[in-house]
Amino acid sequence: MHELAVCHVGAKHGSTIGFVEKYETGVLVARVQAPLENQHIGDVVHAVVLDPVKGECRYTGLIGGVSDEHVSVVVQELVAQNQRRSCARASYSAACIGVLERVPTNEAIRLSVVDVSASGIRFASPTALDHGDVVRLSLPVDAGSVDLRARVLRIEEATWGWRYGCDLLDLSEPTREALFRLVLRLQREEARARADR
């Protein structure tokens, strides 16, 4: 459970971020970017895990082990779980040309991606779309791209046009994994930026 999910471990004298390597039999092991300094076995810690499926999970526990690269937390309690979204989402800015699948002709539309998850996407566009419309797009991911089909579920007015919340259709497993890795990377970058402020 929680494997590869972004996590933040905080203690009385400091905090660090990283990702969950494993969580079993009540012990959460996090690989961290920086050591959790001045901490000892038995010290109280709080761990926040951003799980793509379970949402944000907050734990309290005791340090079971600490090194330069790892922190082990003996979990005492799940304090809170926020499952507002079935899949973790991250801000992502990318401009694309999409194709609106409408009979009798397909129409090219401009869109700007706002955020993404492994099962959905939100974008802004000056083109008016309807609930249920399907847009094909090629989303830039790292050095390549993934081809997506997005079905409009939510519509809200934006400064220049509309914002659309969509679910993703007919995802292959490699595409879903590429999106999952993208979201994890973006969440780590967001967590690092928050920690640096």
Does 135 lie in the same domain as 57?
Answer: no
Does 102 lie in the same domain as 55?
Answer: no
- Tell me the pTM: 0.57
- Pick from 82, 117, 134: which residue ends a domain? 82
Question: What's residue 185's pLDDT?
Answer: 82
Mean pLDDT by 10 residues, the chain (197 residues): 83 85 92 86 90 79 92 91 62 92 86 89 93 93 89 87 91 82 81 70
Question: What's residue 82's pLDDT?
Answer: 67
- Pick from 28, 53, 82: which residue ends a domain? 82
Question: What's residue 16's pLDDT?
Answer: 87
Does 178 lie in the same domain as 163?
Answer: yes
Does 96 lie in the same domain as 29?
Answer: no
Does 180 lie in the same domain as 125?
Answer: yes
Quick check: is 154 in a domain?
yes
- If DSSP codes are grouped into helix, strand and coil, which group holds residue 150? strand
Question: What's residue 176's pLDDT?
Answer: 80
| Residue 28: CB atoms within 10 Å | 25
Question: What's residue 84's pLDDT?
Answer: 47
Question: What's residue 38's pLDDT?
Answer: 86
Does 104 lie in the same domain as 66?
Answer: no
CATH code for the domain in which residue 124 is found = 2.40.10.220
Number of structural domains found in the chain: 2
Quick check: is 195 in a domain?
no
Contact (CB, 8 A) for 135 and 120: no
Does 122 lie in the same domain as 54?
Answer: no
Domain range holding 109? 89-190
Q: Are strands 27-32 and 14-24 parallel, antiparallel or unpaired?
A: antiparallel
Is the previous residue joined to 35 through a cis bond, with omega within 30 degrees of 0?
Answer: no
Question: What's residue 86's pLDDT?
Answer: 45
Of 28, 31, 29, 34, the C-alpha closest to 15 is 34
Does 151 lie in the same domain as 73?
Answer: no
Amino acid at 67: S
